[in-house]
Chain A
């Protein structure tokens, strides 16, 4: 059974009087421990699909299934729990809280899951160490480079030991060296048993790091298996 599955998923946005279809009947299965890259041009609905996988949004039709559970049936609270425990999200623009230090950003995700303060501190240090930022814990995002910020963001995504990492153009704001570093970290996480879904428009990076690439075109996935 695939760990993450999209079944004939459509998402239609209302824009004023009209509607804009972002996804129209997309289907894809992601197996446990797999590194899948979803490729597509700008506006092809890549991020929409990732938001649906991440439980940030709900499909207009079709269903998203995680580990046998359809996300449609989850209420607000259960969905928040799903985001907290089962998945970790990495964004193109990092989405770190600017007023908190790197360590505090990582700790916040741990605080949401009720981890005690002392344990939180140790865990955050360990996570930052695992992405090569042990010495930068007390720095605010504005004091870190793009690559470093993204690594903090990955450390935060890993905080509650989720099964899946969802990365939405994580290298979009980075130069190629930093991009490679970030993807190396994601690849290492796959080797530790995590399932990775990477959204990118960079064909070269996708083929280099992912086990499988699927392409989104006109709201449908091609090459999905």
Chain B
């Protein structure tokens, strides 16, 4: 008997006892709906926390990358006999053995330079949104008559690529990659304040111990930010040409002044880009990447200059890789490490969090599974009733040549149909319940002035899995009735009324 025939027969049998089949299906619908509801709630929680909220913190989507240090590059260059003026020591001294052991250790450290080629390679990896090399340098800056040594960093003109995903409070982004323009943090002025005296006396009156400090409002922050726009900072660099011997010249003639103008003020929200803050330090002062490259070179220390002279290029200190979704992090992290660079990622911790969610999901599914178990008993009961009613029919089928397997198949098919219909309707029911609950909760949230949130998440694998699970449980429930049907004695069955 073909599967189509068996299916047709099973459908015919179910149609004959419509009410009973309907009640049995309702049992499955309740079971599947509760599974879908509970698991979708847990998945929604996971989705909201991990993929929506935490991804804003960049923790799981940002991968700090570092390349080989200048010393490592020099060492590698030496081993490749690129630096020919230092002959290799032919004798095996204890010091050489120690060096070998160190070299062994260093194999785990980055072996590759983080140059434009490496950046380009990372950029091409699937899942990578962008790569921002970190071009940081120290500089002496003057602002409102005060002079400080501060760290500046290069940043893209594309606001989406700003470190930490920060937003502009006022102003615009850089006009071009080589402009002498600055993006500053709203609290950047603090960098130029006088440090507190040894007596603990605050130099600025407003931070007095008794003064209650309330957080400024958004409008106040914007107003303060607006005031910073257009202000100028002066970056000092040493003059490249030494003065002729014997000439001391004035102090001013020994350095050059470069005027930078503040074009944008960035929000100082710390909850964003937390991971980047930790790895790339303060991003209070940003200049265009081209400008950063230039001043980094101008202001680099003699040792770095010597390293670059020997190596040609020493690459970037570090880079930030942003991936599109947390799901891409692990693969990109592994690929970068494989390149010989060193990447840092919290995916291990993420997978632990995911394990916790898996446990929650499983517990909820198990709880909801109880109702599906009850439904399975209902299916068993329905089929056993059906066997009792159809004993004679089973006897007839056997007398005219129906084998045990065919008869079992008919019953399994009936159970499968009950499970499938119940599963499909259950998924629809679960989705409907989710939608109603979501609407109700969001109505309440909207009343309280909150943002609407989607509390439930039904991915394809949940609804598909629920249907497959319902069919599986139904088939399991049919095992005994089907076996019993196949074992019906045809002679007794033919006498059965």
Contacts and interface: CB of A to CB of B under 8 A. Distances in A.
B285 to A, nearest CB: 81
Interface in A71-119: 76-77, 80-81, 83-85, 89, 91, 95-97, 99, 108-109, 111-114, 117
B401 A84 contact: yes
Contact of B404 (A51, A80, A95, A96): A80
Nearest to A77: B403
Contact of A54 (B2, B392, B399, B402): B399
A160 interface: yes
A44 to B, nearest CB: 17
Contacts of B12: 99
Contacts of A117: 4-5
Interface in B382-412: 392-393, 395-406
Residue from A99, A157, A159 whose CB has the most chain B CB atoms within 10 Å: A99
Contact of A83 (B393, B400, B404, B494): B400
B102 interface: no
A160 B2 contact: no
B16 interface: yes
A122 interface: no
A184 interface: no
B491 A112 contact: no
A80 B398 contact: yes
Interface residues of A, number: 28
What secondary structure prevails in chain B residues at the interface with A? Answer: helix
Residue from A56, A80, A109 whose CB has the most chain B CB atoms within 10 Å: A80
Interface in B1-29: 1-2, 4-5, 12, 16
Contacts of B400: 83-84, 89, 108-109, 112, 156-157, 159
A108 B392 CA distance: 15
B401 A97 contact: no
Interface in A18-59: 51, 54, 56-57
B369 interface: no
A13 B405 CA distance: 27
B490 interface: yes
A91 B493 CA distance: 13
Contacts of A84: 400-403
Given A111-B5, A112-B1, A114-B1, A80 B401 contact: yes
Contacts of B396: 95-97
B1 A91 contact: no
A91 B403 contact: no
B486 to A, nearest CB: 9
A85 B393 contact: no
Interface string A147-164: 000000000110110000
Contacts of A54: 399
Contacts of B406: 112
Contacts of A80: 398, 401-404
A51 B4 CA distance: 31
Residue from B393, B395, B404, B494 whose CB has the most chain A CB atoms within 10 Å: B494
B16 A114 contact: no
B496 to A, nearest CB: 11
Interface of B: 1-2, 4-5, 12, 16, 392-393, 395-406, 490-491, 494
9 contacts: A56-B490, A76-B403, A77-B404, A80-B403, A81-B401, A108-B397, A109-B400, A117-B4, A157-B400
Give the 5 A-B CB pairs with smallest separation, nearest first. A84-B401, A80-B403, A83-B401, A109-B400, A112-B401
